[in-house]
């Protein structure tokens, strides 16, 4: 409505974002359970403790809810992540910690990450671009760290490989949430993280020649 009179604006803003947080929280649960399309606005309203009418005081459309969710998830991921990162580790240890922390945050915010990951594609045009932009920012963190490690002499990748590696880390994290009913039933977070770190850094741990074929000069174990 056009009734923008100045005085109440500040209070409004605060209330609005508090309410929106409520809505986001409720929506995450519902979207997780039934998916964005099958969850109805009435259900979201109910779950956040409002009537539909009230819900629409704070959002413009159903898609707005999804956008709010996606938007807040990234911020939450990044802020939680940064809290785990203050150390002044260097080199490989640092890289390891950056990746592990990321995995742990994703695990912690599973529901949110999953919704965002699965439903991003339902956003349209500008909102989609905005959310993807945030994803790229996370990829860039890894890229920066990898470049760092390379400069310190731990890695030998070229730029293309490095960019792919950064993307790869990002996605491997998200994958933990994606098929979780299949994956998380079988493996624990710790096991998964341990495996992925090993996998990322050392690969399968291959013996180039099968040891029973010829005795290979083995390095330090």
What is the contact surface with DNA in residues (CB under 7 A)? 3, 5, 7-8, 11-12, 15, 19, 38-42, 50-54, 56-57, 61-63
Q: Is 206 in the site for a copy of itself (CB under 8 A)?
A: yes
CB of 94 to DNA, least distance (A): 45
Question: Which of the listed partners (DNA, a copy of itself, none) does 88 bind, with a CB threshold of 5 to 8 Å by partner kind?
Answer: none
Distances, alpha carbon 71 to alpha carbons 115, 164, 180, in Å: 11, 25, 22
Nearer to a copy of itself (CB atom), residue 86 or residue 220: 220
Backbone angles phi and psi of 38, in degrees to 5: -85, -20
Q: List the x/- string, 128-167, binding to a copy of itself by CB under 8 A.
A: ----x--x----------------xxxxxx--xx-xxx-x
CA distances from 56 to 34, 117, 122, 218 (A): 21, 25, 20, 68
CA 110 – CA 182 distance, rounded (Å)? 14
CA Rg, the chain, in Å? 22
Q: Which of 20/94 has CB closer to a copy of itself?
A: 94
- Assess 97 for contact with a copy of itself (CB under 8 A): no
């Amino acid at each position: 409505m056009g009734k923008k009179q100045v005085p109440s604006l500040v209070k409004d803003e605060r209330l609005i974002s508090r309410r929106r947080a409520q809505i986001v929280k409720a929506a995450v649960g519902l979207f997780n359970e039934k998916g964005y399309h099958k969850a109805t606005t009435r259900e979201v309203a109910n779950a956040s403790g409002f009537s539909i009418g009230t819900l629409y005081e704070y959002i413009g459309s159903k898609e707005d809810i999804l956008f709010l969710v996606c938007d807040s998830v990234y911020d939450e991921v990044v802020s939680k992540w940064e809290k785990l990162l203050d150390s002044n580790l260097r080199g490989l240890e640092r890289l390891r910690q950056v990746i592990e922390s990321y995995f742990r945050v994703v695990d912690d915010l599973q529901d949110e990450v999953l919704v965002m990951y699965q439903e991003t594609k339902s956003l349209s045009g500008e909102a989609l671009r905005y959310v993807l932009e945030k994803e790229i920012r996370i990829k860039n963190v890894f890229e920066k760290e990898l470049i760092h490690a390379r400069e310190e002499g731990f890695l030998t990748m070229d730029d293309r490989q490095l960019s792919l590696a950064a993307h790869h880390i990002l996605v491997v994290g998200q994958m933990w949430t994606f098929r979780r009913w299949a994956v998380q039933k079988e493996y624990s977070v710790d096991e998964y993280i341990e495996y992925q770190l090993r996998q990322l850094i050392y690969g399968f741990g291959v013996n180039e020649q099968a040891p029973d074929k010829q005795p290979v000069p083995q390095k330090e174990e």
